[in-house]
A and B are shown apart, each in its own frame.
Chain A
Amino acid sequence: MTNLKIGQAPRRREDTRFLTGSGRYIDDLAFDGLVYAVVVRSTHGHARINAVDISDAMKAPGVLAVLTGVDQAAAGIEPMPPYERANPHSGEAFSYPDQYPLAVDVARYGGQPVALVVAESQNQARDAAELVSVDYDAAPAITTIDVAREDPANYCLQWRTGDDTAVAAGMKAAAHVTSMLFHNHRIVTNPMEPRGGVGAFDPDSRRYTLTVSAQSIHNARDHIAVSLGVAPSDVRVVAEDVGGGFGSKNFMYAEQVLVLWAARVTGRQVKWINERSDGFVSDQQARDHTAMAELALDGEGRFLAFRLNGCGNLGAYLTGGMGRLHTDQFAALPGGPYIIPAIHLTVAAVYTNTVPIGVSRGPGYAESSNIIERLIDRAAAEMQLDRFELRRRNLASIAPYAHPMGLTIDSGAYLENFDAAVARACNEFENRQRDAESRGRRRGLGVVYHIKATFGVPVENVELTFGPDDHLTLVTGTQSIGQGHETTFPQILSDLLGVPFDQIRYCDGDTDLIPKGGGHGSSRATSMAGTAMYRAVQDIIAKGRRVAAHALEAAEADIEFHDGRFQVAGTDRDLDIMAVAKLARDAGEEGGRGLDTFHEYIREAHTFPNGCHIAEVEVDPETGTVALKRYTGADDYGTIINPMVIEGQVHGAIAQGVGQGLMERAVYEEGSGQLLSGSFMDYPMPRAADVPSFDLTFNEIACTTNPLGVKGSGEGGAIAGLPAIANAVLDALEPYGVTEIVGPATPENVWRAIQNAAGG
């Protein structure tokens, strides 16, 4: 029964159930009277749907219902609304097609739900799904941004921001302008637990309950309700253990509406679990962004101006907050941590016949970081400057730093982190390089300074309740899907309130428990819920002081609170917080609420996690094979609650980032729109043998705009990984004259780049 402090590393409470196979993931839960749903998905990237014939499927054994786009209209199902429908800066509405849970008349991407089959068993549902006959007229599919841009009707948004005049002046005054074309290739996030859910409908209360594998359930509830044509209060969303999300379980999905509708139709609880092959063509994918960017430098290599003309591929529909992603996150910190006095952006996003795009670790920042970091390496090569020195010269080493696009970065120690990472990564690099050369290989280093501004839902709330059994219960609208909040949040409270860790219970994952919630996204949970907890604790202490003063017959001003005790200053008379909570409850204080406290926090400032990452690769020029040999990071995630947990967060983000850099790419066939990389056999992800151990240090520069000083740690590596790998490979191949790698540094891409540079 010990109190914990911020900065300690208690073992994760959730781990015992995970380690023994007792986790409660969606596919592990038992439900009464369960029936099973299978989604019939469009087999075409783009097609007119003439008819959906369900007559054979309806006759199949065990089938209870087959729902189609025609039934949808009769049932009053509405389109799934994007979460953000207008540019937050200009107010201009985004242009978007209606997206019904089931396709109506036209299928816009391969994998789009066309019908839902519900049967007594999963195999019966699968067999019947094969009997649904869809009459398609296939149409040409657009898969690339360049082709989509040829038709103005494909645009969701176009927006210009920044100072065009100043950029023009900077370009004119420059000693050198470096320009590059970019394509940040598309990835499939692939959390290891496929998406799934169970829908239920109570005819008496007319309420729906969705038990789901998702990561932002309040937001999902509100938008699922719109599609069902009911009020949010008529929908409850529950999530128990979630097997990873990384952004891909952030926004709502068609299947979530469908199982609820199917539950109403059948009067049964309806379960759907994606197979991995479903996930590849229905989980929101990520990245897929092109840009033309120019960086102007003076004769000493100081950055003068930056111009970027970018366009995102949204896939077939506008999903969740993607409109805002392009106009907010992507536009928030162009140029990253470097001082660039003049910046101008042209931002656009278009629709194609591909799986809708959503977010994945570091969205927006991953794209902008890749652009500036690769431009810097190219500029250094063109100007014959040292790329490390070029970065040092331009890093913003002042805090707070007012970024020209509007945000103020409260704190940071960029040069310190940069120098720390470089010192470790470069130590004896020449020796390793020589050794590699003696074996016919080439070594290279790629350096990146990542930064992001945490966004996500700007409101968070917590409820702290003192139970009669001497326990404190925390209910939060954030959600733990592997990040360890079940441990770190009670750890924070134990420190702030002096209540033993074991006496603090943690609850999340139920929209009926707390009115709002931002779930998990954009590394927001600890800064948002942490601030709400901190302020709730201040309220509790103030209330407790009044109660303790009365009980101890002292003046309120004489009551001190420390280590969980209210004490009359200068005496040994004190009361434990649990005793004070009981007194408050018994006395009916605060309208019977006692010390129980609800607090809602509305974001007052963004946080800016940042750091320097350096990849070291070894390339075999004969085969194009790239091996990641070392990965060094010096990161600032602000105050660290639990270093053991943070390390894991950073490791995972790095693996995802270098995965995109080394191997991952979603590939569509032009014309048909078929996803060619639709399984783990065609879409590689990093395995244990593909990555080294990581050399990380943390520089705890406390965030000044939240009381815990935290910044959020989930995304640095996913932002830095791609440019770090690309820059390292290009460094290794410098003697071959290779100046660009398009897509991941696969053996084929690297080998071709070497051959092309040789004039082959």
Chain B
Amino acid sequence: MAVDMKTIEHLCGLSKLSYDEKGMEKVMGEMGDIIDLMDEIKDFDLEYDDTKDGNEIRFSDTRQDVAEGSFAPEKLLANAENTDGCYVVPKVVE
């Protein structure tokens, strides 16, 4: 088993996910198997050289920083479940 409960809880925090007790046991087993598979990469003994990639986006290829028209607010808000002319969320400050 490559991962313990504490690691899974930490990953759930980072991922904004949660599991009940039974789900936690199950995912711990599955992630253990997956991480065992990923561990095979540790046998590979070359280091990453970030100067060799050569596939970065060139500055000259980017768009001009010019304001353009965007979508109509009502069209975008149509996809939110709870709106009142703006996105409605629970209280952020308790």
Specify whether A and B are partners: no
